[in-house]
Chains A and B, each alone.
Chain A
Amino acid sequence: MKRQASKQTLLALTLVLIFATPAFALDGTEILKKADANLQPESFESYRKLINIEPSGAKREFLLYTLKKGHDKIASLFLSPASEKGRATLRLGDNMWLYIPNVGKPIRITSLQSVVGGVFNNADIMRLDYNVEYDVQNLEDKKAEHLLSLKAKTGAVAYDKLKMWVDKKTIVPTKIECYAATGLLIKTLYFKERKPFDEGVLRPSVIETDSPLYKGYQSIMVYARLKKRVVSDEVFTLEFLSKIETIR
């Protein structure tokens, strides 16, 4: 009888353990999806200014026009500076290309490279929704914020793990720490200056980043004119990269 009771307890404990984790993850996943939706619409167009600041105080600025569609398509066109004008990038899932006007075919680039230099890499500049690339591993309650621990779904994702602090009231990320598989902190992203964009939705308009790997360097991304727009799939093709300017 005693043995049967302990068996039942063990079974109950096992069931609790089995079901407790998915329940946690489900909550975390819901939060992550909401956070994604509050950062940017699924399909949109926007203008972005990227500013790289060096330890000397010197800065380089880039102006990009960006189109995103669905979960895995994003294209950007450099509008300035003059030396970069006409360059364009395309991301289809894990594949990324850079088009340079005088070079015939777009060349493949990787997520950890950077087409603009500075702390932002290509994965930051051509970012897909976090829930597309990451699973929620853990959710912690930090008073006014949720702390989500995220793990990359595949090895092709730029960062192996993320720690994401999400404001409970607005369900908007305030800070994300990006880690390599070794546990090394690669960079920290700070989401700031919430502003009304499409249909008055409040979204962060400034993303700042710094990195222990680039001491003294800072990069800033400023969003403007972010609004929902759905363009045809043909826009997200290598052949169309040289023609993005025509649909601005």
Chain B
Amino acid sequence: MCRLTGAAALLLLLAFPAYSQDSYQVDLSQIEKEIEKAADKPYSLGGFLEFQPAIFGIDRDAAFSRLRFFRRDQDSGFEQYNFRLRLEGSYRKDMFSLFFKTDTLARNDFDGWDEDTRLFEAYLSVKPSPGFIVEAGKKVMKWGKGYAWNPVSFIDRPKNPEDPEEALEGSTVATADYIRSFDGPLKTTTLTTALIPVYRRFNAKFGELYHLNFASKLYLLLYDTDLDFMVFAGPSRTTRYGFDFSKNLTTNFEIHGEWAVINNFKLNPINAQGTAFTQESEAISYLLGLRYLTEKETTYILEYYRDGTGFSRGQMKDFFRFVENSYHDFLSTGNDSGLARGQRLSKGAYGKANPMRHYLYFRVSQKEPFDILYLTPALTSIINPADGSLNLIPEVAYSPMTNLELRLRGAFLLGGKRTDYGEKQNDYRLEFRLRYFFQL
């Protein structure tokens, strides 16, 4: 804890550069040279370097803590050091453009060093005209209007609701966008069609292998309202369809929503004895949200999410009881088969960030309070109204100089026994993040 605070304080101090008090003089010729250089460059290469130390406070009686640490004498807390390199680049020539984004994460904690490099995006874009664009490769589709969750995002990986603005790894797809603009109440339409191959080398974890899947989205800007209608039809996953909308009631007050149906969705809960069941249904998910900006630049975001693919309160309680029973078996007999099964289940639907059916998201952030430039404090909470447990995330973000971002953040998980957040691995997490952006 002290080390983390010390590192954060030192880095904050180092981040304040010394400036001269001389008045600034515009050097027009120098600026023009810079602009000429940037304008003529057909490629770009940049990204960021990140250092993120974190401290975890473990709830040793929680189900997910027992599943992870039952074989070891784990302290009630541990430190973790994350180093990340994000690289992004592009090259354009005539109607062709190439984009890529990679992510390399090196992590050190009680398990030692771990390294993971992923290709987040890499695709070719061909644009014969601004109204017709064909793209192929690995990319993120970004369907949906929700901030923390997107039930209509049928192709992308799910966002992390604690950090929804972080980049995601894309899927391998081929897409075509046809955009038209009009005068009148209907201002824009865009038809997006996508082919999603699911084979050993492409999207292997997406669903059933050896199929080519089809998805499509129709976007309309109608009466100043964003509307999307989307469908996914393919053998790798069951058919799903939905729509979303976003509308500004005033310039600073926006409402949005999503609605999605997944046909023949199979949920596999277990009972307290560990017996598995299969429930097949038409899973209906939806989200309603708003974003409100005050004159003093306070932003409020509020969302309600109903996840039709989630577990009920009773089903989740059964899972926690199963883990409790398995843990007591292990302590009394040394038999770890129940906990090993629980571990496997925790890597699936039970281990999702939000595995249940009802959630509320609330975030309030204040831009530059007390006239402190480039400082943004925020408070986020994700609440499970079914069991009253919640995650409370206070944070302060600060950019002391161009291309340097600092963020200090805590996450406090509050909830009773056999509740969603009460049974997560951690009681709290404190982290400091330093990001330095660069451009070559």
Q: Which residues of A are interface residues toward B (Cβ below 8 A)?
A: 47, 49, 51, 53-54, 56-61, 63, 65, 79-83, 85, 92, 94-95, 100-105, 107-108, 110-111, 113, 117, 156, 193, 205-206, 218, 220, 222, 224-225, 231-240, 243, 245-248
Given contact pairs A58-B19, A239-B219, enumerate 9 new A-B contacts (beta carbons under 8 Å): A49-B34, A57-B22, A59-B24, A65-B39, A82-B48, A104-B143, A222-B31, A224-B36, A231-B130
Within 8 A of A (CB), among B87-105: 90, 92, 97
Known A-B contacts A206-B28, A222-B28; the reply to A56 vs B21 at CB < 8 A is yes
Given contacts A108-B251, A110-B252, contact A83 B405 (CB under 8 A): yes
Contact with A along B186-229 (1 / 0, CB 8 A): 01101000000000000000000000000000010100101000
Contact check, B180 vs A234: say whether CB atoms are below 8 A apart: yes
Please determine whether A51 and B24 come into contact, CB atoms closer than 8 angstroms. Answer: yes
B373 lies within 8 A of chain A by Cβ: yes
The residue from A54, A60, A85, A206 contacting B26, defined by CB atoms under 8 A apart: A206
- Chain B residues within CB distance 8 Å of chain A: 17, 19-24, 26, 28, 31-32, 34-36, 38-39, 44, 46-48, 90, 92, 97, 125, 127, 129-131, 133, 142-145, 150, 164-168, 177, 179-181, 187-188, 190, 219, 221, 224, 226, 246, 248, 251-252, 254, 291, 293, 297, 368, 373-374, 399, 401-405, 435, 437-439
Q: By the criterion CB–CB under 8 Å, are A53 and B373 in contact?
A: no
Query: Is B188's CB under 8 angstroms from A239's CB?
Result: yes
Cα A95 to Cα B164 in complex, Å, equals 25
For B168, the chain A residues whose CB sits under 8 A away are: 102
Give the secondary structure class of A's interface. Answer: mixed
Are the CB atoms of A156 and B251 closer together than 8 Å?
A: yes
Check if A85 sits within 8 Å of B34, measured CB to CB: no
Known contacts: A100-B165, A246-B127. The answer to whether A237 contacts B246 by CB under 8 A is: no
Name A220's contact: one of B26, B144, B180 (CB within 8 Å).
B26
Task: List the 6 closest pairs (A to B, CB-CB), nearest first.
Answer: A233-B181, A82-B437, A104-B142, A82-B439, A83-B437, A57-B19
Note all chain B residues with C-beta closer than 8 A to A243: 125, 127, 133
With A58-B401, A79-B38, A105-B246: A218-B44 Cβ-Cβ less than 8 Å: no
| Contacting pair A81 B145 (CB below 8 A) | no
Question: In chain A, what residue has the closest Cβ to B400?
Answer: A58
Are A238 and B188 in touch, CB under 8 angstroms? yes
CB distance A234 to B402 under 8 Å? no
Q: Are B35 and A54 in contact (CB under 8 A)?
A: no
A237 and B181 contacting across the interface, CB-CB below 8 Å: yes
Q: Are the CB atoms of A245 and B90 closer together than 8 Å?
A: yes
- The smallest C-beta distance from A241 to any residue of chain B, in angstroms, reads 11
Task: Give every chain A residue within 8 A of B21 (Cβ-Cβ).
Answer: 56-57
Given the complex, which residues of B lie within 8 Å of A248, measured CB to CB?
Answer: 39, 92
Asked, given contacts A47-B38, A58-B17, A224-B35, whether A246 binds B125 with beta carbons under 8 Å apart, the answer is yes
Write the nearest CB–CB distance from A95 to chain B, whole angstroms. 7
Are A105 and B127 in contact (CB-based, < 8 A)?
no
Contact A105 B133 (CB under 8 A): no
Give the shortest distance, in Å, between A86 (CB) and chain B (any CB). Answer: 8
Rounded to whole Å, the gap between the CB of A109 and the closest CB of chain B is 8
Residue on A nearest B297 in the bound complex, by CB: A113
Nearest chain A CB to B362's CB is how many angstroms away?
17
Cβ–Cβ < 8 Å partners of B165 in chain A: 100, 102-103
- Cα distance A145–B22 in the bound complex, in angstroms: 33
Given A58-B19, A103-B165, A205-B28: A234 and B131 interface contact (C-beta under 8 Å): yes
Closest to A222 in B: B31
Compute how far the CA of A247 lies from the CA of B145 in the bound complex, rounded to whole angstroms: 26
Measured CB to CB, the nearest residue on chain A to B293 is: A110
Interface centre among B31, B167, B374 (most CB of A within 10 A): B31
6 example contacts (A-B, Cβ-Cβ < 8 A) are as follows A59-B24, A80-B38, A83-B405, A85-B437, A245-B97, A246-B125
Q: How far is the CA of A220 from the CA of B404 in the complex (A)?
A: 22
Neighbour of B190 across the interface among A54, A95, A239, CB < 8 A: A239
> Which residues on B sit within 8 Å (CB–CB) of A53?
23-24
Given contacts A80-B38, A193-B28, A243-B125, contact A104 B144 (CB under 8 A): yes
A81 and B142 in contact, given A100-B165, A206-B26, A224-B36 (Cβ under 8 angstroms):
no
Once bound together, how far apart are the Cα atoms of A3 and B163, in whole Å? Answer: 82
Nearest residue (CB) in B for A83 is B437
Residue from the set A56, A233, A234, A245 with the largest chain B CB neighbour count within 10 Å? A234
Flag if A102 contacts B166 (CB, 8 Å). yes
Question: Which residue of B has the minimal Cβ distance to A53?
Answer: B24
Output the nearest chain A residue to B156 by Cβ-Cβ distance: A104
> CA A133 – CA B186 in complex, angstroms?
23
A247 to B93, CA, bound (A): 10
